[in-house]
Structure 1
Amino acid sequence: MNDHNLALLTVGEVLAAFVPDAGKAFRRAHSLHRFTVGAEANVAVAVSRLGLPSTCISRVGSDLLGEAILDDLRQEGVNVSAVHVDPSAFTGSLMRETPAPGSTRVTYRRSGSAGSQLSRSQISRELIQAHSHVHVSGVTAALGPEPLDTIRALFDEAHSLGRVRSFDMNYRSQLWSPEDAGPVLRECAEMADIVIGGRTEWDIAFGSEEAGVAALDDQTLAVVTDGAREIRSYRGNEQLTQTPFPSQVVDPVGAGDGFVGGLLAGLMAGLDTSGAIRQGAYCGSRVVAELGDWAGLPFGVGGTVDIPEDDGAVQR
C-alpha cells in the first residue's frame, strides 16, 4: 500500500455534549461548555492531530448542533465529506457532569437522532479503498440493527480490500444490557484485526480476558485496558504490558478514545506494537488532563508524537 493511502476511516454517531466546569454539578451550572464527541469521531480527531488523514462517516441533523459539529471536525482536519446532513432528523446530544472524581453522570438525547440511523448505503468500496484502516466501536453496534449491519458491511468490504479493521468494544450500559451486548461485541471483535476493550468488556464479550484472547485469530492484536492498572496486549506469542502515564485527572471521559487514536496512528506510522501502545497510553493521559473528550490530545507529525523519556514503560 502506498504511503499516500495511510488514512483512517471511522463510522459512528457524532454528538454535541454540554458540560459544566469540572467539579460542578450540572444543575448548579449557569453556563456550559459545548463539545463535539463520539467514540469514533474522537479517534478520528486523535489521528488527525497526530498528523495522518482521517475521515468520518456519520449523520447529523440539519440544525445548529449539526453545523457546529461539522465545523469542529473540519477545524481539527477531519474529512467530513461523508457525513450526511439529514433534514428530517435531529442531531444527537448529551449532558454530562463530573462533580467529583469517579462520579461522572451522562444523560443522552439520541433515540431517533440522525446519527442513530446510520446505514450500509453510506459505505462505499471507493471510500474504503482510499483508506488503509477502518475503525468502529461497540457504541455504533448498540444503536440498532441497521448500524450493526453497517459495521458488517464496512468490515466485509475492508477485508476484501486488504484494509486493517479495528474495533473498540466500548460497552455503554445506558444503550444495552450485557446479555444483549455480549454476542454482538464478540461477533464484531472476531471480524477485526485489532480489538481493544476494557477488562469488563472482554468479560461481557467472551467470558474472560483469557477466553477472548484464545478465541481470536493468532494474528489479531488484542488489547486490554484496565483503568489505572497496566495495559496488556496479545498477538501470537507476544505479550506486552504498558504502565499508564501519570496524569492529573480533570475529566476522565475520552481517555479510551485517545488511547485508541494514539495506538492506531502509531501502527499506521510504522511503530512496533510496544511503541504504538506506549503512544496510545500517552495520548489517553493527555486527554484526561483537560475538560472535553479531545481538547488535551497532543499534536504530532506523520502519526507519531515525542513522548517524555521518563514516562511510561513497556514490559515484555
Structure 2
Amino acid sequence: MNHSTSEANHPRPSPDMVALGESMLTLRTRPNQAAFEWEVSGAESNVARYCAAFGLQTAWVSQVGTDLAGDLVLSVIEDAGVDVSGVRRLSDHQTGLMLKETVADALRVRYYRAGSAAAAMAPPIGAEVGRTTRILHLTGITMGLSCTCNELVLSLIEDRSRSALISFDINWRPSIWAQGDPPNALREAANQCDIVFVGLDEANDLWDANTADDVRKLLPQPETVVIKDAGNGTHADLGSRRYFVPALDGPVVEPIGAGDAFAAGFLVGVLRCSDNVEAALRLGHITAMSALSQQNDVGPIADDATIQRLLDLSPEEWLSASLDLTATRDVVL
C-alpha cells in the first residue's frame, strides 16, 4: 500500500526508451568449478539496462513466473535502474531458463523456455507504452517465441496511434522459431519499423544477402538500417546517405550480449545527438566493448571522460583507438 501511495504522489516520468521481450535466469558453469553461477539474460532487457546506465529513463515490459527465477530476474533488472512496473507475473507459467556451459574452451548455450511466462505474452500488452515513450525497442526473438508473441510484436509495430520510434533488432535465433516463415516474417516486420539492426551474418542466413547494399535493397522502408559487420565495423544507412564506423579494438572475453550493447549505445546516441550518426555508431561500439569484456551479458560502461575522449577523436585517430574494460570483468551492471 505504501509503495502504490508513493507512486501516486511521485508518478514516474515518461520513459525515454521501453524494451519488450523475454528475460531468463541464466546458470553458468566454468572450467574446474563445481558450483553454478547465475545472471540474468535477455536481449531486450540488456538494451534497457545499458540505456539506464547512460541515465535514460528506461522501462522493460514482459511476463515472468511467480517463482524464484522471476524474483531474481526482476531484482537484477530493477536494480539496474529500469522501471519494471509493466512486468506481469503469472502463477501458472514458469520463468525461462538458460544454461551456459564452457566445454573445451567453447561456449555452449541451451534454452529451457518452452511454455514460459514470456511466451504467453499477447496483445494488448505494452499497447500504452508506444504512446508515451520516445523509443520502443523490439526484437525478432519475441516474434519467434509463440504465435501470440508474434501477434503482439506486429500489433505494436502496426499501431498507428503510437508516437514512439520503433527500434527492431532482427536477432535471428533459428532454434526459437517453430512455426511460420521466419525470413519473410522478419523482413516484413522490419520494413515497418523506424530503426532496424541486423548483422551481415544474419542477413546472409536469412536472405542470402552478402553486402550492406543487399540488405538495404531488402529493407528499403526503415528510416535507418544499422548493418553490423562483426569485427570490421558497422554501417548506418539512412537512405540518402550511408555512414560507416570501424569497430573499436579491444580484448574479447565473450561475444554474447555485444549486439544488445551496441544497439543500446546507438539508441542513446540517437536520442542525445540525432544529427550526428557517426557519434551514435561510435557510442554503439564503445558500449559493445562493455559486453565483450565480460562473461556476463551486461557489464559496466566506460566512464564519461573516456567516452567523450573517444567520441572526440578524428576518424584517423579512431582507427588506432582501443578500449580495454577487462578490469571490470564479471562486474554485473
TM-score by length of 1: 0.87
**Partners of 1:119 and 1:150 within 8 A in 2:** yes
What's the CA shift string for 1:122-159, capped at 9, x where partnerless? 1223x3222011011111111121111111111122x4
What's the CA shift string for 1:164-201, capped at 9, x where partnerless? 11110011132138983201110111111111111122
Distance of aligned partners of 1:29 and 1:174 in 2 relative to their CA distance in 1, 3 Å threshold: farther
**Partners of 2:67 and 2:95 within 8 A in 1:** yes
- Structure 2 residue 278 is matched with structure 1 residue 274: yes
Distance of aligned partners of 1:297 and 1:117 in 2 relative to their CA distance in 1, 3 Å threshold: farther
Aligned residue number for residue 126 of structure 2: 123
Aligned partners of 1:247 and 1:18: how far apart in 2? 27
- Structure 2 residue 142 is matched with structure 1 residue 133: no
> Which amino acid letter does the alignment assign opposite residue 143 of structure 1?
L
Aligned with residue 91 of structure 1, among 81, 89, 95: 95
The Cα of 1:214 is off from its aligned counterpart by 2.1
The Cα of 1:206 is off from its aligned counterpart by 4.0
The Cα of 1:6 is off from its aligned counterpart by 5.8
The Cα of 1:300 is off from its aligned counterpart by 5.7
- Structure 2 residue 235 is matched with structure 1 residue 226: no
- Structure 2 residue 69 is matched with structure 1 residue 68: no
Aligned residue number for residue 148 of structure 1: 150
The Cα of 1:203 is off from its aligned counterpart by 2.7
Aligned residue number for residue 162 of structure 1: 163
Give 3-state SS (helix, strand or coil) of 1:136's partner: strand
Aligned partners of 2:180 and 2:288: how far apart in 1? 29
Give 3-state SS (helix, strand or coil) of 2:175's partner: coil
Aligned residue number for residue 58 of structure 1: 62
**Partners of 2:17 and 2:133 within 8 A in 1:** yes
Aligned partners of 1:233 and 1:78: how far apart in 2? 27
- Structure 2 residue 258 is matched with structure 1 residue 250: no
Aligned residue number for residue 16 of structure 2: 7
Give 3-state SS (helix, strand or coil) of 1:274's partner: helix
Aligned partners of 2:157 and 2:69: how far apart in 1? 30
> Which amino acid letter does the alignment assign opposite residue 170 of structure 1?
N
Runs of 5+ consecutive residues of structure 2 not aligned to the other structure? 1-12, 321-333
Distance of aligned partners of 1:190 and 1:300 in 2 relative to their CA distance in 1, 3 Å threshold: farther
> Which amino acid letter does the alignment assign opposite residue 168 of structure 2?
F
The Cα of 1:279 is off from its aligned counterpart by 0.2
The Cα of 1:305 is off from its aligned counterpart by 4.6
Aligned partners of 1:67 and 1:250: how far apart in 2? 28
Aligned with residue 32 of structure 1, among 28, 32, 36: 36
Aligned partners of 1:86 and 1:63: how far apart in 2? 9
The higher relative CO (CA closer than 8 Å, separation ≥ 6) is in: 1
Distance of aligned partners of 1:83 and 1:49 in 2 relative to their CA distance in 1, 3 Å threshold: same
The Cα of 1:225 is off from its aligned counterpart by 0.9
Aligned partners of 1:219 and 1:189: how far apart in 2? 7
- Structure 2 residue 219 is matched with structure 1 residue 216: yes
Aligned residue number for residue 17 of structure 1: 26
Aligned with residue 43 of structure 1, among 29, 43, 47: 47
Aligned partners of 2:85 and 2:114: how far apart in 1? 24
TM-score by length of 2: 0.83
Aligned partners of 2:249 and 2:197: how far apart in 1? 21
> Which amino acid letter does the alignment assign opposite residue 165 of structure 1?
I
> Which amino acid letter does the alignment assign opposite residue 156 of structure 1?
E
Q: State the structure with more CA Rg.
A: 2
Aligned partners of 1:109 and 1:8: how far apart in 2? 28
The Cα of 1:296 is off from its aligned counterpart by 3.6
Aligned partners of 2:291 and 2:43: how far apart in 1? 13
Give 3-state SS (helix, strand or coil) of 1:233's partner: strand
The Cα of 1:13 is off from its aligned counterpart by 0.5
Aligned-pair identity (%): 25
Give 3-state SS (helix, strand or coil) of 1:147's partner: helix
Equivalent runs, 1:91-110 vs 2, <5 Å: 91-99=95-103, 103-110=106-113
**Partners of 2:187 and 2:219 within 8 A in 1:** no
How many residues end up aligned between the 2 structures? 301
**Partners of 2:286 and 2:307 within 8 A in 1:** no
Equivalent runs, 1:280-299 vs 2, <5 Å: 280-298=284-302
